[in-house]
Amino acid sequence: MAKSALRYTPAGIAVLEASFAHEATVTEAAAERTLTFEFAAIALGAVAQALDREPLGKPMTLEGFIAPRTRRSTRLVMHITEFKITD
């Protein structure tokens, strides 16, 4: 995980942008496939503040939704609504 400095919107809402690495083995068409990739994510409010306190490199489970980075963008970003540290 890499993260930017915690910042605040003009309305005072905390924002944290980060990138995460994902590794997993899944079954597709009866064959195992290894997935390894990085993805961009953003957290707002209390979730952003809590995530900012976590050290880099901790395994975690993220919950949220995927949306375009901006209204006119085709790049996707995960919006984190919850996270849990998984040791």
What DSSP string describes 14-58? EEEEEEEEEEEEEEETTEEEEEEEEEEEEEEHHHHHHHHTSPTT-
The pLDDT tens digits of the residues spanning 67-81 come to: 999 999 999 999 999
Region label for 53, one of left (φ > 0), alpha (ψ between -120 and 50) or beta (otherwise):
alpha
pTM of the entire structure? Answer: 0.88
Q: Give pLDDT, residue 1.
A: 76
Q: Domains of the chain (ranges plus CATH)?
A: 1-58 (2.40.50.140)
Kindly give, in sequence order, each residue whose CB lies less than 8 Å from that of residue 6, ignoring residues fewer than 6 positions away: 14, 15, 16, 48, 49, 52
Cα 56 from Cα 78, distance rounded (Å):
18
